[in-house]
Amino acid sequence: MTRLAIELPVTPDDRRIARLAALAIGLTLAEAAIPSPLPGVKPGLANIVILLVLLQYGWRTAAWVSGLRVLGGGILLGSLFAPGFWLSATGAFVSLAVLALARHLPSRHFGPVSLSVLAAFGHIGGQVALAGLWLLPSAALLKLLPLFAAAALIFGAVNGVIVARVLAAPASDRRQSVPCTHP
């Protein structure tokens, strides 16, 4: 008898990445509903998840979650492979690259707030660089740079404080430590 169902082996790691990516995608969708006066200025709530994953499970898992978040968010928002998708992907990529370096900072002095602010600057930096090179090669973008940078600083700091508080909370409060049950 031939087996019709192809079963791929799923490791606990895969389940964890899928669960966290779903959480990040959920936040991305919720955030898309928030009106923004300037495209590109967003709270970046999904970055809270990425940062928590980075600090708890390492950079590789964070990169997976971030990549799936960009892809899943693109599919669900209907912007897959549209300019907005590439901006999002570039921002996520640069932000991950910044985090890869920044996580080696001594943790005695640099907490989640530092990582979050640096990641936020990486995010908006990557997006503005791509937008400037590809979409809007004009001087107008230059005038918006201070606004983008200020938004990155504020939202990065707020997200960082949220991450620090979640990490400081007792482990029993954290949904993330609940094992994933297979139906």
Partner 1 sequence: MLLRAGDLGVLLAGAGLVAALTVFAWSGDRGDTAVIRAAGQVIQTTALTHAQRFSVSGPLGATQIEIEPGRARIARDPSPRQLCVKQGWLTQSGQAALCLPNQVSLEIRGRTPAYDTLGY
**Considering the rule CB under 8 A, would residue 177 count as an interface residue with partner 1?**
no
- Smallest distance from the beta carbon of 41 to partner 1, in angstroms? 13
Establish if 60 lies at the interface with partner 1 (CB under 8 A): no
Q: Which is nearer to partner 1, 29 or 147 (CB)?
A: 147
In whole angstroms, how close is the CB of 124 to partner 1 at the nearest point? 11
Query: How many positions of this chain bind partner 1 (CB under 8 A)?
Result: 30
Q: Which of 3, 143, 175, 182 binds partner 1 (CB under 8 A)?
A: 143
The beta-carbon contacts of 44-47 under 8 Å, at least 24 apart in sequence, are 44/120, 44/123, 44/155, 44/156, 44/159, 45/159, 46/73, 47/95, 47/116, 47/119, 47/120, 47/123, 47/159
C-beta separation of 100 from 59 below 8 A = yes
142 part of the interface to partner 1, by CB under 8 A: yes
Whole-angstrom Cα distance, residue 92 to residue 100? 12
Q: Name the one range near partner 1 by CB under 8 A: 5-13, 55-63, 90-98, 150-158.
A: 150-158
Q: How many CB atoms lie within 10 A of CB 174?
A: 13
Q: Which of residues 83-112 bind partner 1 (CB under 8 A)?
A: 105-106, 108-111
